[in-house]
Copies of this chain bind each other. A is one copy, B any other.
Amino acid sequence: MSNQTPSPRRNRKGAMQPTLNDVAREAGVSSITVSRYFTSPDNVREATRIKVEAAIEKVGYVRNMIAGSLASATSRVIPVIVPSLSNVVFIDVIKGLQDEFEAHGYQLLLGKTDYDLTRETQLIRTFLGWSAAGLVVTGLRHDAATRQILENWNQPIVEIMELGEGLDLNVGMDHVAAGRAMTEHLLARGYRDIHFAGAELDRDYRAAMRYTGHREALAAAGIEEAPLLDLPVRQQMTSGAQALERIRDQHPECDAIHFANDDMACGAILAASRLGIRIPDDIAIAGFNGLPIGEHVTPQLTTIISPREQIGRVAARKLLARINGEPVGELSHDLGFTLRVGGST
């Protein structure tokens, strides 16, 4: 009525996109009926539905998610916040999340903190401005500002990777237990002088949790010392090779290295074959993650398979369940892990 120009109209940018009204006019119904065709088709009669469908096709209508989100104060966007994209672990998790979200018509908005909790706060603030339907965030450690924002936000949240007391939902595995399990395996194999090697464990605090488990297992076996080598990160495989050389050099009595991840462990195995170090006779090597490469090196790597992609999938499913008001089961979901024994131990 107030608009003089008939369809097609142009928006302020000069573009010319058909709107719900254009479809409605074409179909001979009101715009709200077309809206309902999208949001709750069950409330639209078959005959009307067909008319609307034809009109949509005819005018080439594309739903404007922005307008819909403004009106409904919620959007089908789900921000996912990870610390890094250089780590396969998060890539696999994202893959799981993406698959599930995409299948259910939700969009994944990707944010990266570089392990900076302040950056995390900023990202979350921005993302909440998108009226997100939910949020996926890595880890249970956040700064006070983040925690305050999220506690006042009444949409579902999943914290992934670890287990514990969280903000809302929580999907992951027990890293302390994983570290313990691997070291128990090494002890059972008869290794006694076991070193733990990681890279920047203060940042990668989940690896530090595995070191804690490692120490616990040693202590339980009456071994009080748990030697630790914490290297600066360069390239992970290179760090692994370096760790092997360093430990062989400074601690010739060491009979096994428990690496913080498979990249480092494989770097060590490949370096060993270059240097003529026999694995596991001269020294045993263990990793963590269960990456494909571990099965291709000689000897095959003993490692713990982490349920990375599944963490993504389950996290997504729980979040969507909560968004749709369905039951989510237990708040904290432990996906476990599997020890895969190769020839390297």
List A residues at the B interface (Cβ < 8 Å): 11-15, 62-67, 69-70, 72-75, 77, 85-86, 91, 94-95, 98-99, 102, 107-112, 125-131, 154, 235-238, 241, 266-267, 270-271, 273-274, 292-293, 295-298
Contacts and interface: CB of A to CB of B under 8 A. Distances in A.
A292 B67 contact: no
A154 B16 CA distance: 10
Nearest to A11: B73
Given A65-B129, A66-B131, A237-B292, A95 B102 contact: no
Contacts of A266: 293, 296
Contacts of A65: 126, 129-130
Given A70-B66, A107-B109, A111-B102, A85 B75 contact: no
Contact of A85 (B95, B125, B298): B95
Protomer copies: 2
B98 A85 contact: yes
A298 B237 CA distance: 14
A237 B293 contact: yes
Residue with the highest number of chain B CB atoms closer than 10 Å, among A11, A70, A109, A154: A70
Contact of A64 (B14, B131, B154): B131
A109 B112 contact: no
A252 to B, nearest CB: 24
29 contacts: A13-B72, A14-B154, A62-B125, A62-B128, A63-B129, A64-B70, A65-B126, A65-B129, A65-B130, A66-B70, A66-B75, A66-B130, A67-B70, A85-B94, A102-B112, A107-B109, A107-B111, A108-B109, A109-B109, A109-B110, A110-B110, A236-B292, A237-B292, A238-B296, A266-B293, A267-B296, A273-B273, A273-B298, A293-B293
